[in-house]
Amino acid sequence: MKCEIIPRLEDLPDPRLYLEDKSIFVIIDVLRFSTTVVYLLKAGATYLKPCTEKEEAFSFKKRYNNSLLVGEAAGQSIKGFDFNNSPSAIEGLDLSRKKVAIRTSNGTRAISMIDADKTLYVGSTINAKALGLHLREQHQTRPIYLIAVGRAGKKAIEDKVGAIMIRASCLGETLDLGTLKTFRQLIRNSPSAKRIKKLGYGKDVEKALEFYSSTIIPVLKGGVIVNGSD
């Protein structure tokens, strides 16, 4: 099966070029969008509405009174939002029957660049094994593109690591403990991790290092992200 890593969001050709082959896309933004998405769905959120602008999220809030706003701008909390784009802030919450609008600097922008009619998943280091297995079982004959989103047009090592982990699982390969240890060191020492720690969200980096800890399968359906493992 074809399972290709795209090293940056900006390296992805026009998604319309993939119309004929029914390609599968996986958005990988480990620090922190993808990991936060997994935690939100694990907490029981009904669905997540990805937004590219904060105004779109505020409009969502007005429409759904019981909804929550999650996200950041340049890593900082957005005034009027309930939570930052932070898995550690979400951990332990009960979001049953909650609708969530999420806006981030890179992850939601990446989703907006993929046509709405494409099959799109969200992957991280924490759900890499479950997602890879799902892709192998459900989409054996379809080309799969793992998009290591990056940040501000630059490659991000943590997203590459996430993509490698998902690809290995997708192809039925096993990464040895030494490789996983190296991956943890790369993420912990990455520019993104250092930046997030400086902003006061060091716990979020540790959450991303809990490899293979989740079986949540975030998938975009009808413009919202739901748990495909339900």
The pLDDT, as a whole number, for residue 166 is 99
* Per-residue pLDDT of the chain in tens (230 residues, 90 and over written 9): 889 999 999 998 776 666 666 889 999 999 999 999 999 999 999 999 999 999 999 999 999 988 999 999 989 999 999 999 999 999 999 999 999 999 999 999 999 988 667 899 999 999 999 999 999 999 999 999 999 999 988 999 999 999 999 999 999 999 999 999 999 999 999 999 999 999 999 999 999 999 999 999 999 999 999 999 87
Which two three-digit tokens encode residue 20? Answer: 């004929």
The Cα 157–Cα 193 span in angstroms is 10
Q: What is the pTM of this model?
A: 0.95
User: What is the total count of domains within the chain?
Assistant: 1
- Does 158 reside within a domain? yes
The pLDDT, as a whole number, for residue 117 is 74
- Does 38 reside within a domain? yes
Cβ proximity of 218 and 226 under 8 Å? yes
CA 83 → CA 104, 124, 139, 167, 198, distances in Å?
12, 20, 34, 31, 18
Express each pLDDT in 103-121 by its tens digit.
Answer: 999 999 999 988 667 899 9
The Cα 120–Cα 131 span in angstroms is 12
The pLDDT, as a whole number, for residue 221 is 93
- Does 217 reside within a domain? yes
Range of the domain at 126: 3-12+22-227
- Does 154 reside within a domain? yes
The pLDDT, as a whole number, for residue 22 is 83
The pLDDT, as a whole number, for residue 188 is 98
CATH number for the domain spanning 65: value is 3.90.1560.10
- Does 169 reside within a domain? yes
Q: Is 25 helix (H, G, I), strand (E, B) or coil?
A: strand
- Does 90 reside within a domain? yes
- Does 17 reside within a domain? no
- Does 185 reside within a domain? yes
The pLDDT, as a whole number, for residue 43 is 98
